[in-house]
Structure 1
Amino acid sequence: MNPFSLMRQQRFGPFFWTQGLGAFNDNVFKTALITQVAFNTASLTALDGAMLATLLPGLFILPFFLFSASAGQLADKYEKSQIIRLVKLLEICIMLFASIGFLSRSLLMLALALFLMGVHSTLFGPVKYSYLPQHLQPQELTAGNGLIEMGSFVAILLGQVLGAWLGSLEQHALFTSLSVLLIAISGYHLSRGVPLSPAADPSIRINWNPITETIKNVRLFWAQQTLWVAIVAISWFWFFGATLLAQFPNLAKQVLQGSERDFISLLSTFSLGVGIGSLWCEKLTKGKPALGLVMLGAVGMSVFTWDFAYTVSNLQQQLLMQPSLTLHTLAGLGYWRMLVDVALLGVCGGVYIVPLYVLLQSRAEAGYQSRVIAANNIMNALFMVVSAGFSLWLFGMGATIAELFAITAAVNLLVALYLCLRQPEYWQSTRDFLKQ
């Protein structure tokens, strides 16, 4: 089937655009705020701008730890289109609050708005992936997830680019406020077209204690090793991606002596690669589940990350040896090879991640799908936080950015081996896929 045919159908199209605009607005607001903090700290606070630019993203991730378990219960208990519309109304209210923060130059209000946008994303997350099995046939899940992953990464990319541009404007407060409000209102308008999605288990009694509910979820899915291993595999993807993407700005500026344009090129190339790989999954599997793609994607991620690290190291040495050269005069000696590596790394990442989401949706019991996704979101957030500590630890040991990438690629193969040992189905599926 042509995956884009789903975009024209009521059961998928409005949902796709609603979730895409949500991811887009998250990143417009977050990036505009961080840009202002990084370059115009004095107008907002007396605190250190570099420290704030590092800490603020943590405010966005924190709600995933605090509220994901509750969000999963809500998404299983209530009708999903109603939840989506309420979350979109909440987004409008948060953006109104953020607009006041921008116009009054209140860092406290803006930080609180960032935290609340994290709450917004936390509430939407379990709905995002548990919605698809209710409206798509099993053979359509790969195409649907591929489109969602492609849309999410493109929305994140465009949101970061627009947010950085808005944050650099002289009248940034006014234009950023108008932009995020318009996007939020558009998201709510589109959400009104999302069809009804009956509650999976209306009898659930909500446990509002995030600690006990999180522990309960972990115990529940630990007992279902197929789901648990898939959650670990997905969370590792976010660890891997966060480790690399967090270094792209420093890589472009300090290592390659480039500019913002080079950072955007790296980010854009990676995001588009993930989108292409996500869509390609449907072609490779012909609508059938194929866990074999996971191992192939993992190997490709390591191979292209190694080559990327090698190429970056060579470019850096050439720039140091010939200070008169610039990054772009070296295009024929490695610059384009570096971008090709990033693109193929992204493609392999898309091939890796989509079958894992399909596995969660197809193997989880209908009444627990949202809570499975909630448990996955908690683990994703934890792995992304650990990735920052992992990078800091290696840098403290004297590693360069290129060495960090190479070590991460090596660990990636160890994780792939772990997946095969814990769940032989991954290796068996790879073998079967290669025999096709």
Structure 2
Amino acid sequence: MAISSQFRLLGQRRFLPFYLTQFSGAFNDNLYKNALLLLIAYKTTGLMGLSVNTVINLAAFLFILPFFLFSGIAGQMADSYEKAAIIRKVKLAEIAIMVLATLALWIGWYEGLLVLLFLMGAQSTFFGPVKYAILPQVLGDDELVGGNGLVSMGTFVAILLGTIAAGLLMGLEGAAKLTATSVLVMAVLGYIAARQVPDTGVVSNGQAVRFRPVLETWNLMSVAAERKPVLWAILAISWFWFLGAAYLTQFPNFALSNLRGDETVVTLLLSMFIVGISIGSMMCERLTRHRITLAPVPWGALGLTLLGIDLFFAVPASPEPSTWWTLVTDPAYIRVLLDLVGIGVCGGLFIVPLYAFIQHETPQNKRAQIIAALNVINALFMVASALTGILVLGVLDVSIPGFFLLLSSANGLVLIAVWRLRRRTG
């Protein structure tokens, strides 16, 4: 049976409104979060008696905290109620949050913006389980890998564009007010798209939604552990977020210290990494031949290891001052860019089949809770990634390329694990 490209899904109502909704949400999250961090770094000398560095770390903590508090509740709701209705309510909540954020940005009330950052994290927490649990209900098995590839590509491109937009807005006069207008407009556009998401029908698991923050999140772990192959797939995805968070966090210092680059170099490194992930995500449909299989995953893991090792050796020993143009024209730097693109491609090959596998192998009445568990473990691994970076770079005084080499070597163990998972699942 001839099956057309995954891009045809973008022309269908069962997928396009959802795709635009999740894209706008990822864009807005990153625009708001990065703009707030830049405003705190450059427009203030600290808040509530705390230093700028402390406030920036507090902001990152406040955004991720809701995943630990509310993921269990979010998963129960998504498994108990109609998913399109939840999407619309979550996007409506985003508008309310952004109205308050607009007011706070206009008057410069940064303490309030931190509270709203927590609420944005909560809104993302409730959207996350629906985001991936809805796909198997609107896509066929032969479309699931392609649909996940599109969602993965859209999410990372939205992260990139939101981050770049925040930086561009900060360079303009009246940055806070322009940011306020932008986040509100994006929230409204996201809600308009959400209004077009078709109803999926209610497939309730009969479980009552219990408002017990933290406890219900903890209970998710037992749900996730019910199927060992699914649990291993969850851990593999979370490892990628550990790895990806490490790369993304170190790009600014890597550009400055090891490439002697300006701010355009940071943007280029981020862009190449995300372009690579997008390419890898799009390749999965063709490589799997529209089947739900983990076949590309070990190859993605192998590439993450080999290219990460090559990146260590590609970094110039005595770099000259560089801009983005230097990196795209000087052979000594082009190798670094190619490695980052390749690492991104392998990351896409690694995570997209795993997402499709989890969606396919979990029962519909528990699928959202499994996704919620995945989100919690992802958050834990990203926190662990930050702590590992502090330990390796700050305490052990390893260089950033050396840190990348250590991560790539550790990924060799993950390669063994996913190869065994691939053989067990066929």
Both proteins in one fold, TM over 0.5: yes
Q: How does 1:34-45 map to 2 (within 5 A)?
A: 34-42=37-45
| Cα distance in 1 for residues equivalent to 2:256 and 2:171 | 18
Displacement of 1:203 in angstroms is 2.2
Q: 1:150 touches 1:279 (CA, 8 Å); kept in 2?
A: yes
1:382 pairs with 2:413? no
Q: How does 1:24-423 map to 2 (within 5 A)?
A: 24-42=27-45, 47-201=50-204, 203-312=206-315, 315=316, 317-319=317-319, 326=322, 331-395=329-393, 396-420=395-419
Length, aligned pairs only: 420
Structure 1 residue ranges without an equivalent (≥5): none
| Cα distance in 2 for residues equivalent to 1:43 and 1:54 | 12
Match of 2:422 among 411, 422, 426: 426
Q: Percent identity?
A: 42
| Cα distance in 2 for residues equivalent to 1:44 and 1:66 | 25
| Cα distance in 2 for residues equivalent to 1:329 and 1:369 | 47
Question: Tell me, what secondary structure is at the counterpart of 2:200?
Answer: coil
Displacement of 1:417 in angstroms is 1.6
Displacement of 1:99 in angstroms is 1.2
| Cα distance in 2 for residues equivalent to 1:425 and 1:258 | 41
| Cα distance in 2 for residues equivalent to 1:87 and 1:114 | 15
Cα deviation code 1:293-314 (max 9, x no counterpart): 11100010111111112212xx
Cα deviation code 1:221-261 (max 9, x no counterpart): 22310111111011001001001110001111222211110
| Cα distance in 1 for residues equivalent to 2:57 and 2:312 | 24
| Cα distance in 2 for residues equivalent to 1:44 and 1:311 | 41
Displacement of 1:170 in angstroms is 2.4
Moved more, 35-44 or 159-168: 35-44
Q: 1:405 is aligned with what amino acid?
A: F
Displacement of 1:200 in angstroms is 2.4
Q: 2:98 touches 2:183 (CA, 8 Å); kept in 1?
A: yes
| Cα distance in 2 for residues equivalent to 1:399 and 1:389 | 14
Tell me the TM-score normalised to structure 1 length. Answer: 0.93
Question: Tell me, what secondary structure is at the counterpart of 2:13?
Answer: coil
Q: 1:301 touches 1:409 (CA, 8 Å); kept in 2?
A: yes
Cα deviation code 1:240-290 (max 9, x no counterpart): 100111000111122221111000000011111101100100011110122
Displacement of 1:8 in angstroms is 0.3
Q: 2:362 touches 2:370 (CA, 8 Å); kept in 1?
A: yes
| Cα distance in 2 for residues equivalent to 1:33 and 1:45 | 16
Q: 1:44 touches 1:106 (CA, 8 Å); kept in 2?
A: no
The verdict on how the C-alpha distance between 1:43 and 1:100 changes in structure 2, with shifts beyond 3 A counting, is farther
The verdict on how the C-alpha distance between 1:4 and 1:375 changes in structure 2, with shifts beyond 3 A counting, is same
Structure 2 residue ranges without an equivalent (≥5): none
Q: 1:69 touches 1:214 (CA, 8 Å); kept in 2?
A: yes
Question: Tell me, what secondary structure is at the counterpart of 1:232?
Answer: helix
Q: 1:11 touches 1:194 (CA, 8 Å); kept in 2?
A: yes
Question: Tell me, what secondary structure is at the counterpart of 1:318?
Answer: coil
Displacement of 1:202 in angstroms is 5.6
CA RMSD, 1 decimal? 1.6
Question: Tell me, what secondary structure is at the counterpart of 1:85?
Answer: helix
Q: 2:280 touches 2:347 (CA, 8 Å); kept in 1?
A: yes
Tell me the TM-score normalised to structure 2 length. Answer: 0.95
